[in-house]
Amino acid sequence: RTSALSSPYVLFCPLLGPGPLCGMVGVTFQPQRLRAAASQLERERQNLSPELPEAISQAWRVQDTDPLIVNPDFTETIKGLFPSTSSVKKVNLGSGIPVAPTGGLKVGAVLSGGQAPGGHTVLAGLYDALKRTGPDSVFYGFCDGPHGLFSGNVVKVDDAMMDGYRNTGGFDMIGSGRHKIESKEHFEASRDICAQLDLDGLVVIGGDDSNTNAALLAEYFKAQGVKTKVIGCPKTIDGDLKCHPDLPVSFGFDTACRTFAELVGNVEVDAISTQKYYHFCRLMGRAASNIALEVALLTNPNVCYLGEEVQAKNMSLRQITDEAVELIMKRAEAGKNYGTILVPEGLIEFIPELTVMIQEINELGEGLQEEDVVKKLSPENSERFQFLPEYIRAQLLLDRDPHGNVNVTRIETEKLLSSCIEQELSRRKLSGEYKGHYQPLFHAFGYEGRAGLPSRFDSTYCYCLGYTAGALLAAGRTGLMVSVRNLLEPVAKWECGGIPVTSMCVVERRKGKDKPVIKKALVELDGPLCQPYKAWVAIRDRLAMEDHYRVPGPLQFDDACPASRDLPITLTLELGGLPIPLDPTPRMPVKYGKFLHCPVPLAGRSSLQRWRAEGPLKASVLSLSSLATVVGEPTQPARMGDAQAIKEILPSTFEGPLVEVVMGNAAQKAKNPVQVASGGKLGVAFLGRQAPGGHDALCGIVEAMKGKNCEVFGFVGGAEGLLKGHVVRIEELVDQYRGAGGFDLLGRTKDGIDNDYERETAFEMCKKLGLTGLILVGGTRTVTNASYLAEHFAANKSATSVVAIPCGIEGGLMNPFVEVSLGFDSASKIIAQLVANTSTDGASSRKYYYFLRIMDGATQGMETTSHISMEVALATRPNVVLIGEEIAEKRMSLHDVVGRIADVVCARAADGKNFGTVVIPEGFLAAVPECRVLFEEIAKLPSGCCSVEAVSHLSKFSAALLKSFPEYFQQQLLTYRNDDGQVHTSQVQSGQLLADMVEEELMARTPGAPEQAGPRKKPTFTGSFATVTQFIGYQARCGVPSQFDSEYGRALGGTAAALAANGHNGYMASVSGLAGPLASWRCAGVPISAVSSNTDKGVRVAPARLQLHGPVCRAWNKIQKQCAEGDLYQNPGPIQFSGTGAGCVAQTLLARQSQWGQASNYLATLDELTENVELLDRVCRPGCEVSLAHLANRTLGTMEELLFLMGEVSLA
């Protein structure tokens, strides 16, 4: 989305540098954009020494051959357009004539078009190749794309600058842009700048349009007698720049697709864990469907649309809709009201009737209002245009792409398709044909894939591309695009060279003239490169009905992981490789109520998951085979003022003892250890929302009871499965789920067991099954439910002990015993990677503000926390992060929040920076006082009521607030609700609302705007403001768990099993010392009463709020100002499972560790306290020195007074 304040292109504001070189007019040297920060993984990748093929690592030799012509029909036309360069030969390096030494070359490089992972590595390869040519070599970077070339904005690159960007994502080293070198003035200016810099060569790194531009420059320079040679490098994540066999793939495609595939795989697991949503995933890729096809082959979704196929079959929107509806109805009949559907962003261009309409809109020109378009379109297209939803009509009229056409990347095709599907399903439901339910969720994956750390393949490939470009320039060649091929062979055997760009060109009629363009490589349905499409066709019918979801997991860089060496699957197939085999075993789910149970065999998992399950996770030092429990000291509530209320509600566990769970040698050395009881039956259910590590907790439970003659049951369908007795034995199933994300082995339905009827039903079910222990996995609500259920069991003298495992991505389940909840580490790292990728993308194009809304916080009962947002901020360093707790404590109005962001935008604009990143916790509006009141009133209204009806039932203040919001936001607030009636904050577009309000505020601050009333003068805004908004949540909460969460899950599962087996009812499993080595972790069980508090909502485990003056916030406060003003972005990268970074823990956890001082954790602190009290008791016995007795008495008296002031004791 682009705001009204945006210009067509946001230029980097040139800072005053040293001025023109030697008086040369037009060249302005810019300050270097040195990297200000780097993560641990980024530093490791910067130090990587990529391997080179023998063809360019040895002495350079060149051999000329005749090129293959893509389309001979245009040969004569191309010769006319390129008279000086159309005869350029194809070049092979590694044989032929030796390249003469030069003493050094002067070369400039420009990054053109959208970002793609690996651009910096191309620059590094070129830089190193130039250094090889001689000591006098000089490397220049043109700033912010082609505009930097013809305007003379240039930076001189040295070792320090280059080394800071090696193997990092994005184009932020010199910036990128979408300007074209088109006019006579542009060509002349480019010629003059290259002449003034005395350039021997110019390397244009870009896509099909950019490389066509490079060919035109090469032709112009040669015709003008300019010595500068021009070489192109193939860049685009879209995969539409390739030419078999010389140009097999463009760089960035692999990394982007693997990033998207990780997210799609996570969403698929989310879909099957709850079995209630259809997830529509729109994938970047412009007109081509290459990305969608690659991701589909990696993840096995139920449906993947390919625009090229839609066009070939001449499918109308109605046909596409009917086909989707038939599948959804068929799945509903099989009990599947869920699924995953991939939609390429350019699909709308291939739907015949919409293609014709869009082409006519293109001809109408820009800047038209909707009513003008309706009048000017032909009657048929006008009718089609008016049939479309309002938001689609608006998106068709947004700012155009660089060619002046409708920008299809901004059209939410997936919502258009879903809207048509929903309409048809409603019709069929009324007629009785459809009996299922349809709930869509939408995801747009794009910007987060363009600027990530390049994969191992892209790193090696890009370095070879850059190095080859240097070799071609040293050989004096021009008009070539770099070619690196033979990619299925070891790197040493890769073949390098260059192919004439003109040989790839065809001619298209544009704006009344013949224009040379590189033919786009779309998905081939038939022909020499149709293997990927045929592979998809071979499996898609099975995937439509069976759920063979594959989770590729995060990119891996360490050689120990075989998946780190993978090539793109479409490339592998095109080069003659084999497809990823589909598990031949038919998926035959068993129905338990509304829930389907269908365990995934290990053979059906991705290569990464199989390697991990069979390797690193089995080699853990954490042994759970010989556990024992040790009963310790009595516990107490954190707030003693709550003691009486807690005792009344939870009498059976009140002041119950801490129970340590020890293993191995520690069990033998412990005082009065009780070995885990043999026999019995344990049951486990997922009650809380999905979080990485849940399956590892199941593994821990089974491991702890192995050899104990104990049966372990899982309740299928969570709370509903528990109440209805839907159980399966899981001992033989958990190994195939080791290290797997989501909750899909057992699934979940609702969050808890909330009332006496359900507690009694659960009691009867456990009695019927003969369970000795019941383990509930979830967050604060689940743990609270567990405590009430335990009391009910105790009151009825049940033989079943209830134990809880703290699990939830939000981080709100935190107390002295729970340093962090299970899943927080993985989810925050996945989100941090996406935020960092997006921030780098913004710093590369320098024209967008990204408003990133994060799934964060316990929003039940309008409580909100910001733990994930703070963790992400510490890991990535965005420009702004909103903290719900701060907003609530300072009672900030929505206007205050908007003003804070606008202040940062104004300050950055004054420094020439019209870009940035804003991180927003999803529930932040609940912390704004006026919004909180409105939400509480909305919760009392019927769901789905219209705004007019709602206003009549709201207070005057809340009604006025609701009406002040945009119409789309009013509708969302009234439509999207949780089970308890509260606003479903993950579904309302609060990030978009915030972006809209900031835009309005900035417009009011522009020069000439009416002066605003207020206590302070606001900064003036003189920049431009374009925004992109995104929600990050569902693509993270079912991610593959980090090494930390996998081990933590096993530890919690083993601890819970030991507690349940030994009869400790009403306990919660905990592990302390998590920031330390695995061998030093301390497992224990704590009575839930000890972590409960008495609140206005009753006795419960309340979500822990972020401590604004605690160590975590202090860490952010130290860098907050620098982050707002500067560009301190750092990228923690994807989660690693081996090598550097595999064992790192959350920044939040490290910051909190500092509060323990010499002790490593809370339990160690209590141990020290016990030792000190015992020491005091020993030295202060009758007969001690009087002075010692006085000193001890005064010290203890002071402590008593402090405790009184804290409300912990009474001095009465």
Q: Which of 238, 270, 458, 751 is catalytic?
A: 238
Best CA proximity match to 735, nearest among 710, 700, 705: 700
Query: What type of residue sits at position 776?
Result: L
Whether 1189 contacts 1180, CB under 8 Å:
yes
Q: Note if the bond before 245 is cis, omega within 30 degrees.
A: yes
Distance CA 266, CA 51 (A): 32
Distances from the Cα of 613 to the Cαs of 601, 602, 733, 735, 737, in angstroms?
Answer: 12, 9, 13, 7, 8
Give the distance between the most distant pair of CA atoms in the chain.
113
Identify the residue whose tokens are 């197939």: 573
Q: Which residues contact 603 (CB under 8 A, 6 or more apart)?
A: 583, 585, 610
CA 565 to chain centre: 22
Q: End-to-end alpha-carbon separation of the chain, Å?
A: 64
Give the other-Cβ count within 10 Å of 648's Cβ: 11
Give the other-Cβ count within 10 Å of 103's Cβ: 9
Query: Read out DSSP for 127-153?
Result: HHHHHHH-TT-EEEEETTSHHHHHHTE
Best CA proximity match to 694, nearest among 685, 683, 681, 704: 685
Distance CA 324, CA 648 (A): 56
Best CA proximity match to 519, nearest among 72, 1152, 1062: 72
Distance CA 204, CA 199 (A): 13
Q: What are residue 804's phi and psi, to 5 degrees?
A: -110, 150
Q: What is the helix (H) or strand (E) element at residue 110, kind and residue range?
A: strand 106-111
Helix (H, G, I), strand (E, B) or coil at 953: helix
Q: What is the helix (H) or strand (E) element at residue 629, kind and residue range?
A: strand 627-634
Active-site annotation holds for 200: no
Q: What are residue 962's phi and psi, to 5 degrees?
A: -60, -45
Query: Read out DSSP for 875-909?
Result: HH--SEE--HHHHHHTT--HHHHHHHHHHHHHHHH
Strands 657-663 and 627-634, sheet pairing: antiparallel
Q: What is the helix (H) or strand (E) element at residue 510, kind and residue range?
A: strand 505-510
Distance CA 362, CA 197 (A): 40
Best CA proximity match to 578, nearest among 460, 485, 488: 488
Beta-bridge mates of residue 807: 822
Best CA proximity match to 32, nearest among 145, 165, 131, 149: 165
Best CA proximity match to 205, nearest among 465, 403, 453: 465
Best CA proximity match to 1055, nearest among 772, 659, 573, 674: 659
Best CA proximity match to 931, nearest among 954, 905, 902, 899: 954
Which residues participate in catalysis according to the annotation? 238
